[in-house]
Amino acid sequence: MRPNIIFLMTDQQRWDCIGRYNKHIQTPNIDRLADAGIVYSQAVCQAPMCVPSRYSMMYGMYPSQLGVRANCDGITNEELLPADPLPELMRKAGYQTAGFGKTHWNHNAEGVSEPSARGFEHRAIGLSRADGHYEQGAIMMGDTHPERLETYMDETKNFGAGEENENGYIGSTSKIPMNHHRDGWVAEQCLQFIDEDRIESERPLFLYLSFLKPHAGYNVPKEFENLYRIEDIPDIQQPPWEMEEDTHLAATDALNRESLEDYRQKRIVWEAMSPLERRRSTLRYWANCSWLDHYFGQVLDRLRERGVLDNALIVFCSDHGEMFSERRYRFSKYCLYDSSVRVPLILSGSTIPQYKRGTTNDRPVELIDLVPTLSNIAGLQRNPMLPGLDLLGDVVRKGAFCEFHGKGVPVHAAPAYMWRTKEWKLILYLEGAVGNDGAHHQDILGELYDLGEDPNEWNNLYYNDGYTGIREQLKTELLMHLAIAWAKAPVFYGRRGLIGLERFETCRKELG
C-alpha cells in the first residue's frame, strides 16, 4: 500500500528556530523527525508572505505563474485554477484527505457562499465564518466553540491587524486555557479525528495539520514560557548602519509609506526597551515554537499508536520566516533576506531509506518541490509543467528562487527576484511600482552577498568590481531558470500537447 502522508506546518517559523540549529530552542518532536529523516538546510519559500507562499507550495508553481503575488491576492474562480492543488492531487490519487488549520486560500469572494475545500474531504478551521477563510463543509471554531474564540480575541484585542503591532510582538503570558487558542482548538480537532477512529483502513491517509503560530502575537501559555530562562536568551545583532539604503527593502519603504510608518513605530518602541525586555520577546517566540512542537508530538504519538506511521512519509515545514528585530528592528517578513525566506524543511518517516535517516542535505531546495515529491510518493504521474523537483530524486538545481512584489498595497511594487546558492545570494530589483510604463526597466539595481563571510547580509558586493564574475554568473543562472519555468506554465498549448515538456527519452519513444 502507498505510504500515508503526514504534513505538519507552522506559520512564520524561522529556519533556525528548531533544536537542530539552535541549542536554546526546545523542539524535541521536530528534532526526532530530523533524527529519523532528511533535513534540507538550504530550503527557501517562493514569496516572503503567507498567501503567495502557500499558494505556490500547494500548486507547485511560482507566484508569478499563479498570479498570486501578495497577501491581498487569491484565486476565487475555481475554473481559473492552473492545476490541481496538493489536497486534490492526493484525493485523486485515492488518499483520504483531512485538513486541520490554516490554508489561507483567500478564495472567499463576493458571491461565493461555499468556497471549495480544494480536495479536503474533512476540514476544520480555527476561525469564524466571518473571517473570510471558510471552506465548503468545514468545521469552524466560531460555530462549535464561539465562547473560546471570543476569549482568545479578547486577549489579543490590542495586538493590531494580524496580531503584528508592537503589542503583538511584545506579547504576554496567556491567561486563557490552551484550547481557547485557535491553534489549541485545531490540535484538539485533529486529535479527535484520530481518536474517533475516523481514519479509513482501505485508503492511505493524507493528513494536513497547519498552525497559525509562531506568527505574532506572542500570548504564550505559561508552561511553555517557563521552559526558557531569560538569562539564556541572546541579544539580536544589529548592523553598523542606522537606515536601510540602496536595497530592495529601502525601495519598498519608499513606495509604501504606511509600511514604513509601521516599521518606524516598532523601531521607536524597541529602541526604548531595555535589553532584557527585548529578550523577553525572543523568549516568547521560541516558546510558541515549543508549544506547537508539543502538539505535533501528541498527533504523531496518536498516529503511531494506530499504526499509521508504520508506513508513512512525514513532512515538516513553515511558509516563511521572521525578521525578528534584525536590520535595525525590522519585524515580520516582506523582504528577501535569509531570516525571511529560509524555512525549516524535513522529510521523515518509515519511507525514508535507512542510510538517509539523520542526514542533512545542502542542495538548493524550494517549497514548490513538495508537490512533485509527494505526487511521486502517491503514485501520480509527474506534471511536466511544474518547475519543482523531487526532493528524493537525483536531479538538483544550481540555486533557489524567490520573488517579492512588496505588500501589494497600495500598489504592487516592481518585482525583486532572488537567486540563492549555499554560498551566494543575488537580488535584482527595480524601484517604483510594477504599473509604471517600463521606461526605467534598464535601471536594474542589485544586491550580492557572500553568505559564508556575511550571513547577516550587511555588506552588499553587487557594485564591487572584484565580484563581477560571480554576479554575472548568478544573473545568467537566474535568467535561464525563470526562462525555462515560465516557458512551461501556466499554459502550454503546443500542437503535441505536454509531450513537448517531457524528458527527452519519453519524447523519443512517443515520436517513434
For residue 98, give the CATH number of its domain.
3.40.720.10
Q: Kindly report the average pLDDT of the chain as a whole number.
A: 94
Q: 97-124, pLDDT tens digit by residue?
A: 999 999 999 998 777 888 999 999 999 9
Instruction: Write down the pLDDT at residue 408.
Output: 85
Give the percent of the chain with pLDDT over 90. Answer: 86
Give the other-Cβ count within 10 Å of 2's Cβ. Answer: 15
Starting at the earlier edge strand, list the strands of the sheet with 445-450.
400-404, 416-420, 424-429, 445-450
CA neighbor of 387 nearest in space, from 477, 486, 478: 486
| Residue whose entry in the numeric block shows the C-alpha cell 496580531 | 163
C-alpha cell at 492: 502550454
What letter does residue 314 receive in the DSSP assignment? Answer: E
* Rounded alpha-carbon distances, angstroms, from residue 244 to 32, 152, 225, 332: 39, 36, 33, 16
Give start and end residues of each alpha helix (H) in 135-203: 141-144, 146-155, 166-170, 182-195
**468: three-class secondary structure by DSSP:** helix
| Residue whose entry in the numeric block shows the C-alpha cell 498595497 | 409
Instruction: Write down the pLDDT at residue 135.
Output: 94
Contact between 338 and 31 under an 8 Å Cβ cutoff? The reply is no
First to last CA, the chain: 35
Instruction: Give 210's pLDDT tier (boundaries 50, 70, 90).
Output: very high
Q: 10-30, pLDDT tens digit by residue?
A: 999 999 999 999 989 999 999
C-alpha cell at 51: 498567501
C-alpha cell at 160: 493590531
Phi, psi of 357 (to 5 degrees): -75, 135
Mean pLDDT of 157-178: 96
Q: How far apart are CA 69 and CA 58, in angstroms?
A: 14
Q: How far apart are CA 120 and CA 280, in angstroms?
A: 39
| Residue whose entry in the numeric block shows the C-alpha cell 500542437 | 495
* Rounded alpha-carbon distances, angstroms, from residue 216 to 161, 284, 288, 384, 430: 10, 10, 9, 38, 30
Mean pLDDT of 461-490: 96
Q: How far apart are CA 321 and CA 300, in angstroms?
A: 24
Q: How far apart are CA 199 and CA 206, in angstroms?
A: 10
Can you give the three-state secondary structure of 185-206, one letter per residue?
HHHHHHHHHHHCCCCCCCCCEE
Q: Is 324 exposed, middle or buried (0-12, 13-18, 19+ CB in 10 A)?
A: buried
Q: How far is CA 354 from the centre of its chain?
A: 28
Mean pLDDT of 137-149: 97
What letter does residue 209 receive in the DSSP assignment? Answer: E
- Please check the confidence at residue 91 and state whether its pLDDT lies above 90: yes
Give the other-Cβ count within 10 Å of 272's Cβ. Answer: 8
Give the other-Cβ count within 10 Å of 238's Cβ. Answer: 14
Q: Which of 423-437, 445-459, 493-507 shows the highest mean pLDDT?
A: 445-459
Mean pLDDT of 226-248: 95
Instruction: Give 502's pLDDT tier (boundaries 50, 70, 90).
Output: confident
Q: How far is CA 9 from the centre of its chain?
A: 8
The boundaries of the domain holding residue 95 are 4-511
What letter does residue 330 receive in the DSSP assignment? Answer: B
Q: How far apart are CA 91 and CA 86, in angstroms?
A: 9
Q: 310-346, pLDDT tens digit by residue?
A: 999 999 999 999 999 999 999 999 999 999 999 999 9
Buried b (16+ CB within 10 A) or exposed e, 333-355: bbbbbbbbbbbbbbbbbebbeee
* Rounded alpha-carbon distances, angstroms, from residue 254 to 112, 208, 277, 431: 36, 39, 30, 9
Q: 400-427, pLDDT tens digit by residue?
A: 999 999 998 888 889 999 999 999 999 9
What letter does residue 7 receive in the DSSP assignment? Answer: E
- Please check the confidence at residue 508 and state whether its pLDDT lies above 70: no
Domains contained in the chain, number: 1
**Letter for the amino acid at 73?**
D
**20-24, 165-169, 209-213: the lowest-pLDDT one:** 20-24
> Cα 237–241–247 angle (5° rounding)?
100
Mean pLDDT of 257-281: 95
Instruction: Tell me the pTM.
Output: 0.96
Instruction: Give 169's pLDDT tier (boundaries 50, 70, 90).
Output: very high
